[in-house]
Structure 1
Amino acid sequence: MWSSAIKDAVEKIRKNMDSFGTKFPHVSRDGAYLLNDNDDWTNGFWSGLLWLCYEYTGDEDFRLGAVRTVEDFRQRFADKKVLDHHDIGFLYSLSSKAQWIVEKDESARQLTLQAADLLLTRWRSRGGYIQAWGPEGDKQEGGRIIIDCLMNLPLLFWAGQQTGNPIYQEVAIMQAEKTRRYLVRGDDSSYHTFFFDQQTGEPIGGATHQGYTNGSTWTRGQAWGVYGFALAYQYTGDPAYLETSKRMARYFLKHLPKDHVALWDFNAPVTADTYRDSSASAIVAAGLLELIGHLEEGDLDRAYLEQGLKDSMTSLVRNYSTIGQEAEGLLQRGSYHVRGGLSPDDFMIWGDYFYLEALIRMETGNKGYWYER
């Protein structure tokens, strides 16, 4: 099942390379990807898909396409084009860092280190956090951290390994600790965002940006936690991160509907019309592969998590993938920002990326581009 799904995905991405040209896919509308210039937080996922396809097939066309995206990211960095946010890791881990991992290209390594330095500029020493959005002192966004940032921390951890400079790891650990303490709730669910006093760092309270309510559990946020804490454990060996990833994974799997693919928020009213977010389940599948790889054979959670992985991936392939269809996307029924009315129930480029990352890891053992192999 996995190899057939990969083959179908690779052929779709090959066709998309021709039709997308130099543009980057974002989310879809009516079954067709909306394309943009390299100016969004999601653009790295297209680069990552091309690197995955190149490594899986050895096809030079995929390599050339991936390298072109890295050059585009190099120009974006030079122009400082829409880089005033925390998602630098999503952009440069899957583009230039991927090129470094695959080809050991020194210029790609240097670009990735520059990106890590840029991410460090979002550290707010007074409050003790990486500010997600907005300039320092911003009245609306100042003091906000979000759970998504866990997936940007591997860029800092990696930079620390590459340079030997402890500041990268110190900041990454402080951010991971703050996320673990304030965004993960006692029942193992999570807030999407949390606010702190910008001057003192005192906690103010949890909130949401894309979830159903401030106190609900947005499923994609929970997914970022599952994978993000597993990656924090990979870099640090701190058992608290491994345990937090397990707790969040158990919560996610326990609250899935019967077909094992997530709704957009675990607390949203459930009707026949409630939106799904297949991208959340794809992220968790990739995260479970990382998490399970760190568990001992006798770990009491291992069998449960392995079954959850199998159930979710089987459902994604059989019920949500576009296998055999003329389609640009790989996974149907993703949701970007339901309350904001942005592309619910359609293709999401990050859903495609994590779906293919999980498939290829299951088939070949390739662990993607979040850390050195």
Structure 2
Amino acid sequence: MSILKKGKKVLAIALATTLVGCFSTKKETSSTSVDSVLNANTIKVKAALKDLKTFDSFPRTISKGHNKWEKVGVKDWCSGFWPGVLWYAYEFSGDEELKKAAENFTLPIKTIAYSEALDHDVGFQVFNSYGNGYRLTGNPEYKKVLLAAADTLATLYNPIVGSIHSWPMKPQYPHNTIIDNMINLELLFWAAKNGGSKKLYDIAESHAEVTMKHLVRPDYSTYHLGAFDDKTGAFIRGVAHQGYADNSLWARGQTWGIYGFSFAYRETGRDDFLKTAIGLADKFLERLPEDGMPFWDFDDPKIPNAPKDASAAAVAACGLLDLSSLVKDSELKETYFNAAKRFIAILSSETYLSNTTNQALLLHSTGHHPRNSEIDVPIIYADYYFMEALLRLKKMEASKKKIIVNF
């Protein structure tokens, strides 16, 4: 039996039905299949390599009026996304040139695993690069780096608070935990199953529990950051940081939560994590505007003239596909699966695909709006999660067809 209240469930199902009805419109399906979008993306990723010859310099964003990637160093939190994109392109195509490029851009990130942890982004940096590389090649050296990175990330854990100190560089918050950090728990869960200490599992579970209790509001909207007393563990307050206001709904933060609590349930089997993932997903879907693409923050008073965030839609698609495979209720499975397909269809439309505009795959993402940073531009993590969502959908649809044939 679903843990949703009946009325809430009906709302979610009705929403999904509306979204699926729009999925087949000509505007949103200019690319006719998942394979065709993946193929076009792979060609474009490979073409971008011609301008990317320095392997410790990674694409991050493209400013308005420019057409080539602006790059960052290894320690930037976005460094792992480009090698991850390359691994996904290789996974789809089997192109050995892409594999070699993925290996070349992955190697410099090794230093993160063996250096002092500066923040929680170790997972984004190492698991997206080395993790995908190990998954696709089984390279034992990659496994060593991943296990070392998990131990490095774990050094930020405060047992008094029960969570990882996400941003040590923010002294105004003695101990802080941000919703983004949920994604980095996957590295710890993986390591605990693949030769790492059992303590890594315990840290990941505890962190998810603290996040659930303090960063998820009663209505299933989320704070970006939770501030804690590092000596007593007491929760001090929730903060917007990258959102519009402390009580607003920052779109990408909500999707980090959907994604993170879905795999936290998959790893732990805890029903409260599943309930949280469902609540976060329903809140996100019910706040969507008519065109199905989230504004950067659902409570920006400038709506409908506020910028959108394609990266939030891409992360949501990944999280919802995972969640659709975890919920038991068949109607909820369909709801989340179809909502994810809707996001992928919109991202695959002429409105959001970059095509010949620049080297990125997607347009119209928003990074840090309060700082006026990366507003309505391509951002590498949007491309990463777009590729992930497409590959997830391809595998899930292939699995469904196999089940039908076998039946």
TM-score grouping bracket, smaller chain normalisation: over 0.9
Alignment of 1:341-352 (within 5 A): 341-352=372-383
Given the alignment, which residue of 90, 93, 97 partners 2:124? Answer: 90
Identity of aligned residues (%): 31
Instruction: Quote how far apart the aligned CAs of 1:272 are.
Output: 4.4
Given the alignment, which residue of 175, 185, 188 partners 2:207? Answer: 175
Given the alignment, which residue of 74, 79, 86 partners 1:43? Answer: 79
Distance 2:373 2:357 in 1: 24
Distance 2:49 2:127 in 1: 20
Give 2:156's aligned residue.
122
Instruction: Quote how far apart the aligned CAs of 1:194 are.
Output: 0.6
Distance 1:315 1:65 in 2: 29
Give 2:10's aligned residue.
none
Instruction: Give the direction of change, closer, same or farther, for the CA distance of 1:127–1:336 in structure 2 (3 Å limit).
Output: same
Give 2:59's aligned residue.
25
Q: TM-score, normalised by structure 2?
A: 0.85
Distance 2:195 2:351 in 1: 42
> Is 1:316 matched up with 2:352?
no
Distance 1:143 1:289 in 2: 33
> Is 1:68 matched up with 2:104?
yes
Give 1:359's aligned residue.
390
- Residues 101-139 of structure 1: per-residue CA shift (max 9 Å, x gap): 11111111001111001101101123222111126xx63
> Is 1:149 matched up with 2:185?
no
Alignment of 1:182-193 (within 5 A): 182-193=214-225
Instruction: Give the direction of change, closer, same or farther, for the CA distance of 1:366–1:329 in structure 2 (3 Å limit).
Output: farther
Alignment of 1:179-328 (within 5 A): 179-296=211-328, 298-322=329-353, 324-328=355-359
Moved more, 244-253 or 325-334: 325-334
CA contact (8 A) 1:278 1:320 kept: no
Instruction: Give the direction of change, closer, same or farther, for the CA distance of 1:57–1:365 in structure 2 (3 Å limit).
Output: farther
Matching residue's letter, 1:351: A
CA contact (8 A) 1:360 1:366 kept: no
Q: Which runs of 5+ in 2 are unaligned?
A: 1-32, 399-407
Distance 1:365 1:41 in 2: 30
Give 2:6's aligned residue.
none
Give 1:370's aligned residue.
none
Instruction: Quote how far apart the aligned CAs of 1:185 are.
Output: 0.9
Give 1:8's aligned residue.
40
Alignment of 1:126-137 (within 5 A): 126-134=160-168
Q: TM-score, normalised by structure 1?
A: 0.92
Matching residue's letter, 1:158: W
SS of aligned partner of 2:370: coil
Moved more, 357-366 or 50-59: 357-366
SS of aligned partner of 1:339: helix
Give 2:19's aligned residue.
none
Distance 1:303 1:355 in 2: 20
SS of aligned partner of 1:210: coil
Distance 2:314 2:361 in 1: 11
Distance 1:152 1:324 in 2: 31
CA contact (8 A) 1:278 1:351 kept: yes
